Amino acid sequence: MPQDRNIIILGIESSCDDTSAAIVENGVIRSNIIASQKVHEAYGGVVPELASRAHQQNIVPVVDMAIKQAGISKEDISAIAFTRGPGLLGSLLVGTSFAKGFSLSLNIPMLEVNHLQGHVLAHYIKENEDDTNKPTFPHLCLLVSGGNSQIILVKNHLEMEVIGQTIDDAAGEAFDKCAKVMGLPYPGGPHIDRLAKLGDPNSIEFNKPKIQGLNYSFSGLKTSFLYHLRDNLKINSNYVEENKANLCASLQKTIIEVLLGKLVKAAKETGIKEISVAGGVSANSGLRSALTSEAEKRGWNMFIPEFRYTTDNAAMIAITGYYKFLKGEFASHELVPFARMAINE
């Protein structure tokens, strides 16, 4: 689409428990505000009803702050990109409804964004005009979050194909559920990451899945972890407390080996050496260093996101919206959010 002015996209993300708004101008990040909801900590997981109420309270101040921090006025915005799904329906409804109302009041178009595509496209956010080191196409993205573990063949900014995925739990779920049985707070991934640094990753062996092709499975590992605790707690009631660091280090090492095993297989099968990682679990320090060494060994061009783009954020929604804007793919005001959506929907 030919442009006679800068393309300024307001991105809105409200799929789970983070309310976020961002401004991206011609693909360059201008602001990215995230209000995380602390209310769920007491419950050991996200409570959907509380999440949507908190989004309602946060959305206006968060959008206001994103616009102010970008140094623009709302009349400068070209279009509003919002997460349509997948996610919690009540949470998605807040962002979708806000986007509809704001687009009507400003008389500008809307762009619907698939949250999973957003995670992948976070790699294309430019920090400034000269930031051009981005993955070329086709590339492979390992998308690892609380709800997904997928290997995605990224054909271009908007065309993606899942070539491997979990048949049961996601990697993030394995981190969180194993953390929960050890009595660690929610979400457990960052706590396991921290404790793993103090332990011996080779001290305990857990069962690894034997799944065909490029698919993953984490439910067996979770059960193996649970049985290991049950058996050892019978002998020593202080087993978890006394061995927490070793448990975390060994569990984390196993999850990383499983994730990397299939990624290496995918890279070999496709011949692609342009590799990225995305999603909440990509914040894991063990995974980041394992990917870096694997990339050196195999000659991959590896893209690891900055921490602020690993978890849910609106910058990734705004950049995806930017590429949709360039293609003129605007959304109708009739659309409704979807709790479940595949990456290519």
Question: Can you give the binding site for ligand KG4, defined by CB under 6 A?
Answer: 16, 145-147, 172, 175-176, 187-190, 193, 279-281, 283-284, 311-312
Distance in Å, CB of 210 to ligand KG4, minimum: 23
Which residue's CB is nearer to ligand KG4, number 109 or number 146? 146
How many residues comprise the chain? Answer: 345
| Cβ distance to ligand KG4 smaller for residue 109 or 189 | 189
Question: Measured from the CB atom, is 28 or 181 closer to ligand KG4?
Answer: 181
Question: Among residues 190 and 261, whose Cβ is nearest to ligand KG4?
Answer: 190
**Three-point CA angle 263, 176, 96, nearest 5°:** 85
Cα 159 to Cα 126: distance, rounded to the nearest angstrom: 20
Of 63, 58, 124, 73, the residue nearest 321 (C-alpha): 124
Residue nearer to ligand KG4 on the CB measure, 280 or 337:
280
Question: Among residues 192 and 331, whose Cβ is nearest to ligand KG4?
Answer: 192
Closest CA to 143 of 89, 86, 184, 182: 86
Minimum separation from the CB atom of position 252 to ligand KG4 (A) = 8
- Report in angstroms how near the CB of residue 197 gets to ligand KG4 at its nearest: 11
Nearer to ligand KG4, 147 or 220 (CB): 147
In the block, residue with structure tokens 């050496």: 273
Taking the complex as a whole, the smallest distance from the CB of residue 185 to ligand KG4 amounts, in Å, to 10
Distance CA(211)–CA(9), nearest Å, equals 42
**Cα dihedral 147, 300, 322, 74 in deg (nearest 10):** 80
Nearer to ligand KG4, 274 or 312 (CB): 312
**Which structure tokens are listed for 161?**
């194909």
Q: Name the minimum Å distance from CB 176 to ligand KG4.
A: 5
Residue 191 CB, nearest approach to ligand KG4 (Å): 8
Beta carbon of residue 121, minimum distance to ligand KG4 (angstroms, whole number): 14
**CB of residue 213 to ligand KG4, shortest distance in Å:** 23
Which residue number places its CB atom closest to ligand KG4?
Answer: 280
